[in-house]
Structure 1
């Protein structure tokens, strides 16, 4: 018995539990660890690994699976450090042995009473566990951010940052940038005022808060109807519900903001409503806003600007430029200079009927008559409802191409009366989404970011994909389908070379890494989220799990 107890106590002995700033900076270079979302601060979703490649991917097999004891959906990416995989979802935080799939520990999420009942999309987590200096950080849907001990799973500190009864939620992972824990918020379709927080990761002390909606007298407040609707800014939206990227050389954090509230612009006097539907560049130490770019002034169709900001280096007119690439929900693929936010390119990658183009001199969209018709009371069909469905895109610096899963869903929308109820939905619209008859639901796509030229696209006829893309030097793209498959595509053509049925929807981004010289691919499976549930609810079961794959020996 003593030997058994000693073995249990030593499970995981020899593993390092610290996590340094240098290791975060080098994520993507050390293939044994995956310490940030998107395989690096730049969110490129690119790996130099090529042990698994086009010639042998047919031999990819599952080597272990793990139940996540959750029916509310899996959108998260695993984090890996020194042989331990960390996974978060709405109910649990897990530590799992990478080699065997055995559980090391799990910690339940303790919610405030009633919080889950009002969560509109369940208790989804859209980002990974964040790790730093022996601590694991996460949010919970009832608007808490907390720290756990990486070794034991025991809680170290817990901060409530807003009141879920007023519509605030937590669904995304925090980010460590320049020693500060950066944490956003969700709930932009409710009566909320968006913000980003900075915390001391050791103590949980809040260091700063940057509101995305300016109060009267602050810069940007002139873009709100403060004279006719003096309280509009208090509940104006601008949620920060997706993950941020970080450039350590510029010391700039890039985070997108959500739609203005309500969607119906009548109740906002059609104003631009800064800093909604914008990309913000912030100093992580202070929250100072260095620049902003508002991609959708007066966001009236729920376009947001929360798609992750991928950081890359491109040659523009013969000059090397540090750029930010964003596959916007509004249907345009943007390339910005990430030092100042100036637009370099903006090209449609799906069907767009709300704007003709983006004026690069002003940065503003040139509108069609669609908004004007909607304001007259017409029911309008808006293309797109979403260009991508809040998923990670990938960029391979060797091909220079962006890879993504697009959606071909319009939104039938009509503006209606709006009644303010604190904590409730506040959209001011009636809407439905449908797939155009006889057309694909979406596409796997490869796009040249500066010109918008489509290198290839492969239709998804049944349902579109909500999973992120992962590009590797093995000439492969890994992604997933709402119908439950994790798939590998040929990076040069989009042809499916391999697939595996997981049993539930794959909404999460895959990752790849090495352990003791062997390359692995891991992805979470589990149907969840309002869109996925609507599209495949009758044909795909719920149930969360982790799937890890490696090559079968020849």
Structure 2
């Protein structure tokens, strides 16, 4: 748990004015004990903190000092982010900024959902922050930016049609100045993808489908003379990891579709149930590993891709765990 959270629990913390988050700050989040800027407290997704202020000898003395309602009966799945004494929280109905010292609500912005779509507990990511903006997705396939100081919506882009079986659950990440978001729908005969966005303007920079079209690398793992690839699955419904040194984003993909494997003819079905290494500026697939070829049991490969530097046979290696 980060230092800022410990201060909330024990001492309180002074809420300083919000400033812009730089790429360097995001890259160093795992070493920053004052803020929580990314999901899992770092791009490597280790969820580790070196702090030892709270330990087994004093944890029983923790007492609540405030609580704040998130005005949501649908459940909470998203982890908060914290910057300069302000906690940013998102759920299926609202986006919030909360003073971590007092629990005072600084602002709240409602989630606008298209008519006929139910608000649900959906977000397995976090409130993504960068350069003075908060980024999030909505269940009806919108990615948007809010001003971190005011909660005002700055831009909003719709990237898929809910009626076609797509929806959004995972939080986006910012890697090398590009906002990257995924999509859900692994039970609806969809074709998964990742999108790259300009975080300042909302302009779409690229789209990388997780199921290759005929003639693209990986298409040989799908039946020939078949449209199976058009609804082959590979949703990207969790968030990714990022290695700034290699400038590679690692993002897991979900099951092959449909659940009935016969249209896939027992073939490997790339890039379902895999991890993709993506170049954030272009969306190019640098490499991949498929965890479960011909996934017929909805095994998925979407859990956290934890990054580490290890010694293997006496040599330093970068690995995914």
Alpha-carbon distance in 2 for matches of 1:123, 1:195: 22
Question: Which residues of structure 1 form unaligned runs of 5+?
Answer: 1-11, 326-554
Q: Where do 1:226-265 residues align within 5 Å?
A: 226-227=224-225, 230-265=226-261
Give the C-alpha shift of residue 28 in structure 1: 2.5
1:54 alignment partner in structure 2: 56
Q: Where do 1:401-550 residues align within 5 Å?
A: none
Alpha-carbon distance in 1 for matches of 2:224, 2:66: 57
Q: 1:88 aligned to 60, 66, 90, which one? A: 90
Question: Which secondary structure does the structure 1 equivalent of 2:211 belong to?
Answer: coil
Q: Where do 1:130-149 residues align within 5 Å?
A: 130-149=128-147
1:31 alignment partner in structure 2: 33
Alpha-carbon distance in 2 for matches of 1:14, 1:222: 55
Alpha-carbon distance in 1 for matches of 2:18, 2:241: 26
Alpha-carbon distance in 1 for matches of 2:254, 2:193: 11
Question: Which secondary structure does the structure 2 equivalent of 1:46 belong to?
Answer: coil
Q: Does residue 304 of structure 1 match 2:300?
A: yes
CA contact (8 A) 2:18 2:148 kept: no
Q: Computing the radius of gyration over CA atoms, which structure comes out larger, 1 or 2?
A: 1
CA contact (8 A) 1:41 1:246 kept: yes
Q: Does residue 276 of structure 1 match 2:272?
A: yes
Residue by residue over 1:151-203, the C-alpha shift from the partner in whole angstroms, topping out at 9 and shown as x without a partner, is 01010000000001101111111100000001111111112100001000000
Alpha-carbon distance in 1 for matches of 2:236, 2:86: 29
Alpha-carbon distance in 2 for matches of 1:263, 1:271: 14
Q: Does residue 287 of structure 1 match 2:292?
A: no
Q: 2:196 aligned to 195, 198, 216, which one? A: 198
Normalized per residue, which structure has more strand?
1
Alpha-carbon distance in 1 for matches of 2:267, 2:65: 55
Question: Which secondary structure does the structure 2 equivalent of 1:291 belong to?
Answer: strand
Question: Which secondary structure does the structure 2 equivalent of 1:126 belong to?
Answer: coil
2:11 alignment partner in structure 1: none
CA contact (8 A) 1:265 1:300 kept: yes
2:10 alignment partner in structure 1: none
Count of matched residue pairs: 308
2:81 alignment partner in structure 1: 79
Question: Which secondary structure does the structure 2 equivalent of 1:86 belong to?
Answer: strand
Alpha-carbon distance in 1 for matches of 2:263, 2:216: 21
Q: Where do 1:386-401 residues align within 5 Å?
A: none
Q: 2:179 aligned to 168, 181, 189, which one? A: 181
Alpha-carbon distance in 2 for matches of 1:58, 1:208: 50
CA contact (8 A) 2:77 2:121 kept: no
Residue by residue over 1:500-519, the C-alpha shift from the partner in whole angstroms, topping out at 9 and shown as x without a partner, is xxxxxxxxxxxxxxxxxxxx
Give the C-alpha shift of residue 17 in structure 1: 2.9
Question: Which secondary structure does the structure 1 equivalent of 2:19 belong to?
Answer: coil
Alpha-carbon distance in 2 for matches of 1:13, 1:75: 25
When the two chains are superposed, the root-mean-square deviation of aligned CA atoms in Å is: 1.3
Alpha-carbon distance in 1 for matches of 2:208, 2:233: 14
Alpha-carbon distance in 2 for matches of 1:38, 1:123: 20
Residue by residue over 1:110-161, the C-alpha shift from the partner in whole angstroms, topping out at 9 and shown as x without a partner, is 00011227xxxx3411111111111100000000000000001010000000
Question: Which secondary structure does the structure 1 equivalent of 2:66 belong to?
Answer: strand
Give the C-alpha shift of residue 208 in structure 1: 0.4
Alpha-carbon distance in 1 for matches of 2:55, 2:113: 43
Alpha-carbon distance in 2 for matches of 1:40, 1:14: 22
Alpha-carbon distance in 2 for matches of 1:56, 1:289: 48
Alpha-carbon distance in 1 for matches of 2:242, 2:30: 14
Residue by residue over 1:448-493, the C-alpha shift from the partner in whole angstroms, topping out at 9 and shown as x without a partner, is xxxxxxxxxxxxxxxxxxxxxxxxxxxxxxxxxxxxxxxxxxxxxx
Alpha-carbon distance in 1 for matches of 2:43, 2:175: 9
Residue by residue over 1:410-454, the C-alpha shift from the partner in whole angstroms, topping out at 9 and shown as x without a partner, is xxxxxxxxxxxxxxxxxxxxxxxxxxxxxxxxxxxxxxxxxxxxx
Question: Which secondary structure does the structure 2 equivalent of 1:47 belong to?
Answer: coil
1:476 alignment partner in structure 2: none
Alpha-carbon distance in 2 for matches of 1:54, 1:272: 48
CA contact (8 A) 1:220 1:275 kept: yes
Give the C-alpha shift of residue 320 in structure 1: 2.1
CA contact (8 A) 1:116 1:123 kept: no
Residue by residue over 1:237-264, the C-alpha shift from the partner in whole angstroms, topping out at 9 and shown as x without a partner, is 1000011000000111000000000122
Question: Which residues of structure 2 form unaligned runs of 5+?
Answer: 1-13
Question: Which secondary structure does the structure 1 equivalent of 2:31 belong to?
Answer: coil
Deviating 4+ runs (over 4 angstroms): none
Question: Which secondary structure does the structure 2 equivalent of 1:28 belong to?
Answer: helix
Alpha-carbon distance in 1 for matches of 2:295, 2:218: 15
Question: Which secondary structure does the structure 2 equivalent of 1:314 belong to?
Answer: strand
1:408 alignment partner in structure 2: none
Q: 2:44 aligned to 42, 52, 71, which one? A: 42
